[in-house]
A and B are shown apart, each in its own frame.
Chain A
């Protein structure tokens, strides 16, 4: 009660100071970021801005909070079933209603999971281990997995629950197929249980959300925002201008060169947090010969000494200061700090040492250096092309002449998944907050269901076996020990050249009390005005 009084007091003060309009506008939040959500269908796209909007309207069983820690949402508790290590039990929240008034029950959960497991769903890869989802009673759900899956709940934080009846009535029981030839109802309409309800949506232009008056979280969350007006503003300069001119209250994706400008403006502030995304170089150490170099008949990257020399040649502090304007956290490992398996020793990175690096190159027989093509995206990560340009100079110091090819992400990423680049920049986030995710995609040999992003071509049967064991190891201590062992191999073999973890910056009015979320997902139910 006292906090409510404080709030009213604060609002009154603002109203008196800023005139009568402040009271009404204080509750509307005008939010802008670079890109729009692609669809409101919660299972069609596994993509950042899409999930960020869906999180306001729909809810998962377990939700990430503003520190990206899992907290109960539609499930109140979850545990492995006694005596059955491959069954998870979820107790559901009672008395929750969808925006359309429908009751939330176990059958909606079963329906939503089955929908998300369909072939046309983009979320299915996160649920491959689930064999069956069944309703035990109206408020209990059991999920049976192929083997024991100790980290299953981590995969569910963006897995939204739809109402079964609504989906059936509107013929959206499956996510859209690309060759359907028609728009489905769920693309622009939504019926969730979240703190905000969809009022109107014009894709790429404007989306309006209104507070849900019957939200179950009344009293548990601040819920001070009563209306959200979301406008994507693609051009960075325009986005910053809109914040400076007071036309929007909060922007994501503040360009690093404008941070001082925003922070120095009266009435505005910048919040930041380390992002769940590590930027690194991949090098092809696995192939016998490289396509993109001038060394005939062998692969210079296959020599550990060359990889170590490259790692030493990279001046991470210089990249941080010059390219990122201080907005990065240099690292020696390809995972951000909140991931299970992260340690300070792994994170430690070597100081740039050109002399030692040169000596290693000499020792490896590449004293005269060699040429290789470096591939880089130019529209995906913060200052991605500039990072590559800096790295080209650093590689040049030890005799590696890197020819930079910077291009759009739609051209860049197929090179990695198609294994046609030997030296490339990639950024990787860990949505499950567990090392297994990194290993599955980046370290395991490329097979049908693993190693799809392993452009290093690193392949070691023992490591593969260790990675596979993680999926069903129930003893968490033992599991963490294996994780540590795998990281040791990754570091010793210098499979990747880590650069830094990105830092997220949100610019906002300084009467907004809101933490920056590591996954770049604002959850506006936590937002407070002061």
Chain B
């Protein structure tokens, strides 16, 4: 077990280093940051001076090693665009993204599981069919279009919800939360739906398929024969046995919820790290881009690591295999 964990951790570090290397080799293609840093009156001498200061004349492996050296000490540098510490900006923006991702994931899981069970039990029902058909929208429409549609209906036409931003936020220590104000709660609804819709339909379809499978099995028939209540059969026996794959998929999707937040955040001007990243790309703000990409890859690697380790916990056969190897 311990050897396995150590091996996985080393693999993860290797993956991180490779991600960073690929990222740095790509930055050249995003453009030249100096163009954005200096006004149109700049001279060639200014350009050279700034390139030199920023270390842009170094080859990308050298830039990468320098970045790593500083990053290990917790220093991600200064944003070209804002002139502020990158770590400070990301810490300031992270709560917005995490709250949005959390609410979306919650919405996706609760509604996804609920509707999945419903559509499985009432397989041929009228409502179930309507839900299944509309869920196609969630799978097939691109996020930004759903966002714009929601804004148009709920902000412009009905005027119920705000079209952009996070509303009023309250600071608790360094964490800024929108959960404690009315405008903050209203503001999170549309972006959370936009971001979570795809995941919700995915979970719903998964739960439905698994449920249909399980409902056909012998022990369910036997449970019916025993005269158990429908509720006990559906939720106590059937749902429980569908949840293992659902949890795996959901765990992995949390990573993509945070990563996909880029588009949702741009549509709703949600002040999170995704919007920060988009702005950084447009401005060729290399320190911010580098820090963001490293952060996201750390997150993905961590989630995968946890999922791998969870298998050990959930499935005893894995560890049993390892210990009985050679017999």
Instruction: Report A's interface with B, CB cutoff 8 A.
Output: 38-39, 41, 44-47, 119, 122-123, 125-126, 176-184, 187-188, 202-206, 231-235, 237-239, 241-242, 244-247, 379, 407-411, 413-414, 417, 428, 441, 448-449, 452-453
Contact = CB atoms under 8 A, between A and B. Distances in A.
Contact of B78 (A46, A181, A206, A239): A181
Contacts of A410: 30-33, 35-36, 282-284
Contacts of B36: 409-410
Contacts of A453: 40
Contacts of B251: none
A206 B83 contact: no
B35 A183 contact: no
Interface string B29-63: 11111111111111111110110011000000000
Given A183-B78, A202-B271, A245-B156, A417 B47 contact: yes
Given A231-B269, A245-B156, A452 B44 contact: yes
B192 interface: no
B30 A241 contact: no
Contacts of B88: 183
Contacts of B20: none
B267 A238 contact: yes
Contacts of B166: 205
Nearest to A244: B156
A378 to B, nearest CB: 11
B254 interface: no
A203 B39 contact: no
Nearest to A181: B78
Contacts of A181: 75, 77-78
A183 B84 contact: yes
A126 B41 contact: yes
Contacts of B283: 410
B40 A441 contact: yes
A183 B39 contact: no
B163 A203 contact: no
Contacts of B34: 414
Interface string B120-164: 000000000000000000000000000010011001100100111
A474 B15 CA distance: 66
B152 A241 contact: yes
B282 A379 contact: yes
Interface in B263-299: 266-269, 271, 275-276, 278-279, 282-284
B64 interface: no
Contacts of B44: 417, 448, 452
A231 B35 CA distance: 25
Interface of B: 29-47, 49-50, 53-54, 75, 77-78, 80-85, 88-89, 92, 148, 151-152, 155-156, 159, 162-166, 266-269, 271, 275-276, 278-279, 282-284
B230 to A, nearest CB: 46
Given A177-B53, A448-B43, A242 B164 contact: yes
A178 B78 contact: yes
A182 B85 contact: yes
Contacts of B30: 408, 410-411
Contacts of B266: 234-235
B163 A242 contact: yes
Given A178-B80, A237-B148, A448-B45, A414 B164 contact: no
Contacts of A123: 39
Given A44-B83, A231-B165, A178 B37 contact: yes
The winner among A44, A46, A407 for most chain B CB atoms within 10 A is A46
The winner among B30, B31, B50 for most chain A CB atoms within 10 A is B31
Contacts of A246: 159
Contact of A232 (B84, B156, B269): B269
Contacts, number: 151
Contacts of A176: 83
Given A247-B164, A409-B31, A417-B47, A234 B83 contact: no
Given A231-B269, A237-B151, A245-B163, A203 B31 contact: no
A235 B269 contact: yes
Contacts of B37: 178
B269 A247 contact: no
Report the 6 A-B pairs with minimum CB-CB distance, sorted nearest first: A410-B31, A46-B39, A125-B41, A205-B271, A411-B31, A179-B53
Contacts of B267: 235, 237-238
Nearest to B144: A235
Nearest to A449: B43
23 contacts: A126-B41, A178-B53, A181-B77, A187-B82, A202-B271, A205-B165, A231-B164, A232-B269, A233-B269, A234-B266, A234-B269, A238-B148, A238-B151, A238-B268, A241-B148, A242-B164, A245-B155, A245-B162, A246-B159, A413-B32, A417-B44, A448-B43, A452-B43
A47 B31 contact: no
B190 to A, nearest CB: 11
The winner among B47, B83, B156 for most chain A CB atoms within 10 A is B83
B54 A408 contact: no
Given A233-B269, A237-B148, 12 more contacts: A38-B82, A125-B39, A125-B41, A179-B54, A202-B92, A238-B269, A241-B155, A244-B156, A410-B35, A413-B32, A413-B35, A452-B43
A407 B41 CA distance: 22
Given A38-B82, A231-B165, A47 B39 contact: yes
Nearest to B50: A178
Contacts of A205: 165-166, 271
Nearest to B70: A181
A45 B39 contact: yes
Contacts of A178: 37, 50, 53-54, 78, 80
B260 to A, nearest CB: 16
B35 A414 contact: yes
Contact of B271 (A41, A204, A441): A204
B39 A245 contact: no
A9 B104 CA distance: 49
A241 B153 CA distance: 10
B269 A408 contact: no
Nearest to A123: B39
Contact of A119 (B49, B78, B83): B49
A283 B283 CA distance: 27
A206 B163 CA distance: 15
B89 to A, nearest CB: 8
